[in-house]
């Protein structure tokens, strides 16, 4: 036997094949994404030590800037821009995490295929992670986000959900597409591969460790430990109702900003009625049935728990005249342009609603009583003003 062969056999040769993995978190909105992103952004060194690189476009860890959201002719459109490619091109780690909940907006196959092509340029394996929340719960929370701003059609929530009165958005084609979880996720699974898609239920009971940070890290399987972060994005009933109503009426952003402080004084929770919540959820019954059979399994057969007992029988997601009677004095003193005009616009809008709605006699009587109190609170009759020199003249005691 040749000596050189013996030498080669005695040498252990190890070949390292570098496989790059991308963990792509695509949302949905209002499933703890902000808390997850901030936790990873603030503790990026701990992730790095565990072998994970975290990339983001935003200073708080969000990469949703890779999706353009625009509204034209009453419809909302979503487009992948070049920022995703630029972000991934800058990565160096073998395992990389990107979180961008705006990716959950995508529902057209060619858009999702574009995301897949961009990711495949730099990574050998892509794991798509998505969290789902029952449609009625998600919609309330998402519409609350739209009440945090002071301008219409600026935030994606404003563009998609609008500012109609009530906890839920008016039903439209865009709303139907966004909340049809099954059809959307089926496309992602078809494009990236069924094994690449990890679908998780966003609920405290279902999440590993009871929070999204612990649950997401468990999916990574790398033994990473990060402190959970809670981002408070709460919106009280007063801010929700007034912001949406004023935006619907077309109030200027400068005036809305002046009114915001008085809205923040109330932290009462806004809740729709049990019937309205169930009705919204059941619009997606067929989609959720398919979702249950493919991605999530629940005894209800509809992918989610169908307990609606957390909602009251009568909701508080509409402005009452009693609300206006309490809020109008603050509106009049907020320093906005023509405050009396806004007061009258709110009252006129309320009267129109009272005409349209089929109130019961008891509710209508209460609304009318509150309307009288509301008007009396701001009623003012100017007294006759006499010039100062009239006071010096002796007043006549006779009418002649």
Of 130-134, 331-335, 389-393, the range with the highest mean pLDDT is 130-134
The 3-state DSSP class for residue 197 equals strand
CA 377/CA 82 separation, integer angstroms: 56
Give me the pLDDT at residue 159, please: 97
CA 371/CA 8 separation, integer angstroms: 96
Instruction: Give the mean model confidence (pLDDT) for residues 62-70.
Output: 98
Under a CB-based contact definition with an 8 Å cutoff, are residues 57 and 133 in contact? no
The H or E element containing residue 68 is strand 67-72
Under a CB-based contact definition with an 8 Å cutoff, are residues 351 and 329 in contact? no
Give me the pLDDT at residue 384, please: 67
Give me the pLDDT at residue 393, please: 64
Percent of the chain topping pLDDT 90: 77
Under a CB-based contact definition with an 8 Å cutoff, are residues 41 and 34 in contact? no
Q: Is this structure's pTM higher than 0.85?
A: yes
Give me the pLDDT at residue 348, please: 86
Which residues have a Cβ under 8 Å from the Cβ of 84 and sit 6 or more positions away? Answer: 63, 66, 100, 115, 118
Reported as a pLDDT band with limits 50, 70 and 90, residue 397 is low
Under a CB-based contact definition with an 8 Å cutoff, are residues 237 and 314 in contact? no
- List pLDDT tens digits, range 81-110: 999 999 999 999 999 999 999 999 999 999
Under a CB-based contact definition with an 8 Å cutoff, are residues 346 and 321 in contact? no
Query: Which residues share a beta bridge with 131?
Result: 200
Domain boundaries, the chain: 21-220
Instruction: Give the mean model confidence (pLDDT) for residues 338-352.
Output: 89
The pairs formed by 186-189 with CB atoms below 8 angstroms and a separation of 24 or more are: 186/294, 187/107, 187/109, 187/112, 188/26, 188/112, 188/128, 188/130
- List pLDDT tens digits, range 221-241: 867 889 888 886 789 999 999
Range of lowest pLDDT (1-10, 101-110, 379-388): 1-10
- List pLDDT tens digits, range 23-64: 999 999 999 999 999 999 999 999 999 999 999 999 999 999
Provide the angle, in degrees to the nearest 10, between the axes of the packed helices 135-146 and 274-282. Answer: 110
The residue among 364, 360, 338 whose CA lies nearest residue 351 is 364
CA 245/CA 268 separation, integer angstroms: 17
Instruction: Give the mean model confidence (pLDDT) for residues 69-87.
Output: 97
The 3-state DSSP class for residue 51 equals coil
Instruction: Give the mean model confidence (pLDDT) for residues 179-192.
Output: 98
CA 253/CA 272 separation, integer angstroms: 27
What fold, for 21-220?
Rossmann fold (3.40.50)
Mean of the per-residue pLDDT values for the chain?
Answer: 90
Q: Tokens standing for 187?
A: 């496309």
Reported as a pLDDT band with limits 50, 70 and 90, residue 14 is very low
Which residues have a Cβ under 8 Å from the Cβ of 9 and sit 6 or more positions away? Answer: none
The single residue listed with the structure tokens 């008085």 is 262
pLDDT at 135 over 60: yes
């Amino acid at each position: 036997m040749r000596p050189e062969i013996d030498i080669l056999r005695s040498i252990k040769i190890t070949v390292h094949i570098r496989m790059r993995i991308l963990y792509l978190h695509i949302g949905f909105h209002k499933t703890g994404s902000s808390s997850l992103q901030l936790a990873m952004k603030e503790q990026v060194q701990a992730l790095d030590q565990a072998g994970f690189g975290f990339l983001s476009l935003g200073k708080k860890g969000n990469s949703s800037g890779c999706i353009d959201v625009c509204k034209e002719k009453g419809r909302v459109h979503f487009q992948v821009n070049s920022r995703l490619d630029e972000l991934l091109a800058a990565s160096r780690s073998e395992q990389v995490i990107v979180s961008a909940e705006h990716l959950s907006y995508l529902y057209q196959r060619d858009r999702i295929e574009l995301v897949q092509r961009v990711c495949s340029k730099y990574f050998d394996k892509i794991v798509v992670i998505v969290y789902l929340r029952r449609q009625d719960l998600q919609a309330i929370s998402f519409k609350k986000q739209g009440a945090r701003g002071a301008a219409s059609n600026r935030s994606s929530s404003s563009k998609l959900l609008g500012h109609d009165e009530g906890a839920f958005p008016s039903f439209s084609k865009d709303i139907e597409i966004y909340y049809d979880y099954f059809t959307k996720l089926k496309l992602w699974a078809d494009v990236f591969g069924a094994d690449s898609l990890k679908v998780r239920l966003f609920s405290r009971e279902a999440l590993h460790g009871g929070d999204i940070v612990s649950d997401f890290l468990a999916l990574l399987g790398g033994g990473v430990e990060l402190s959970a972060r809670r981002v408070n994005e709460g919106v009280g009933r007063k801010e929700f109702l007034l912001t949406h109503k004023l935006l619907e009426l077309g109030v200027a952003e400068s005036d809305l900003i002046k009114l915001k402080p008085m809205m923040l004084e109330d932290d009462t929770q806004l809740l729709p009625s049990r019937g309205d919540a169930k009705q919204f959820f059941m619009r997606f019954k067929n989609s959720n049935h398919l979702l249950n059979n493919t991605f999530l399994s629940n005894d209800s057969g509809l992918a989610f728990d169908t307990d609606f007992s957390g909602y009251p029988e009568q909701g508080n997601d509409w402005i009452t005249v009693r609300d206006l009677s309490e809020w109008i004095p603050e509106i009049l003193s907020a320093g906005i342009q023509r405050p009396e005009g806004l007061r009258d616009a709110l009252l006129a809008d309320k009267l129109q609603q009272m005409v349209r709605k089929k109130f019961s006699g008891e509710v209508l009587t209460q609304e009318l009583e509150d309307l009288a109190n509301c008007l009396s609170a701001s009623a003012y009759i100017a007294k006759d003003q006499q010039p100062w020199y009239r006071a010096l003249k002796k007043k006549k005691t006779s009418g002649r």
